[in-house]
Amino acid sequence: MKCKFCDKPAVIKLRAYNLKLCGEHFTSFIEQRVEKTIKKYRLFTKNDRILVGISGGKDSLNTIYILNKLGYKTEGLYIDLGIGDYSKHSKEKAIAFTEKFDIPIHIYEIKKDFGLGITEISMLLRRKPCSVCGVIKRYILNKFAYENGFTVLATGHNLDDEVATLFSNVLSWQEGYLARQDILLPRKHDKLVKKVKPLALISEKESAAYAILKQIDYIREECPNAKGATSIFYKNILNQIEEKQPSTKLRFYLDFIRRGKKFFEKALKEREDALHSCKVCGYPTTREVCQYCTIKNEVQKRSG
Ligand code: SF4
Ligand SMILES: [Zn+2]
Ligand SMILES: [Zn+2]
């Protein structure tokens, strides 16, 4: 099997694009695709200061690596969620990566705010760890970006993440979530930083291959709270469909962005109109008190 562009042997076959590529042409294909996504969806420019949320996993490390390589101004934020060995190991990977590639990193420990890690908080509040974790991560990433003068917040969501979320939201017709699913979420409140997903058109498999070829050492271990997650179940189903019909995932996602999303404009407008400042912290919310402040208050009440 030979590379489509040179005489070297191909190391990967991309069925979605009908391409066989050598290592060098594959990595430049991924970088060009990310650059094209940035330009096409106007995610940011070279004047922006971009904060990338890094977890120690392949997608977030690839995101900051590629943006840095393309010449964008980036810094990473690792949030220590206090989830036992998983957090310890992922933090080690994130720090080792930033030292190896000379990329600035900030570390935020949620135990400083709550005195507890995600698993303990969720047990105390009798809520699912991932729902608590999602609220806390989103809040800290946005707040840190806003307070430190970043103009863009980038996350490492890949195509498989995006398609699994879309699939799940379509199955239950979650209009509010469907309205907000996109590669770019614009700034709709003074204290809300623009959010982007530069890897949204790169599949999980492509992302893993890119990290290996670039010798980006990432955490392979799954978060213990991810066990049995519905998103993993949906990803497996979507992979089976992709196996039979290559490029289905990409088409499903892009067609939603191009043609499906417009049907949810009313829900989007309703949410934007309902957005105001949290009575406690001043950050955006559709409630009187934002979910982060609610969690913090409950933790203080129950652990005090
Ligand atoms: S699996 Fe759940 S708890 Fe673990 S990092 Fe992801 S969102 Fe947080
Ligand atoms: Zn080649
Ligand atoms: Zn608040």
Q: Report CA-CA distances (Å) from 46 to 41, 183, 188, 284, 297.
A: 15, 18, 22, 27, 40
Nearest ligand, CA 291: 3
Residue nearest to ligand 1 atom 2, measured at CA: 130
Provide the pLDDT for residue 152: 98
Residues with CB under 6 A from ligand 1: 81, 118, 129-130, 133-134, 223, 225-226
In angstroms, rounded to a whole number, what is the distance separating the alpha carbons of residues 277 and 295? 17
Q: Report all structural domains of the chain as residue ranges with CATH numbers, in order of start.
A: 31-261 (3.40.50.620)
Provide the pLDDT for residue 85: 97
Provide the pLDDT for residue 1: 87
- Nearest atom of ligand 1 to the alpha carbon of 134: 7
Q: Which 8-state DSSP code applies to residue 2? A: B
Taking the centre of ligand 3 as the mean of its atom positions, its distance from the CA of residue 78, in whole angstroms, is 21
Provide the pLDDT for residue 110: 97
What kind and span of H or E run contains 170? helix 159-171
Taking the centre of ligand 2 as the mean of its atom positions, its distance from the CA of residue 206, in whole angstroms, is 16
Provide the pLDDT for residue 205: 96
For residue range 53-73, list pLDDT tens digits in order. Answer: 999 999 999 999 999 999 999
Instruction: State yes or no: pLDDT of 203 exceeds 90.
Output: yes
The pTM of this model reads 0.96
For residue range 240-288, list pLDDT tens digits in order. Answer: 999 999 999 999 999 999 999 999 999 999 988 999 999 999 999 999 9
Q: Do 120 and 224 meet the contact criterion of CB atoms below 8 Å apart?
A: no
- Relative to beta strand 276-277, strand 284-285 is antiparallel
- Which residues keep their CB under 5 angstroms from ion ligand 2? 3, 5-6, 8, 22, 25
Provide the pLDDT for residue 191: 97
φ/ψ of 53, rounded to 5, equals -75, 115
Question: Who contacts 281 (Cβ-Cβ below 8 Å, separation ≥6)?
Answer: 290, 292, 293
Taking the centre of ligand 2 as the mean of its atom positions, its distance from the CA of residue 152, in whole angstroms, is 34
For residue range 98-118, list pLDDT tens digits in order. Answer: 999 999 999 999 999 999 999
Chain-wide mean pLDDT for the chain?
A: 96
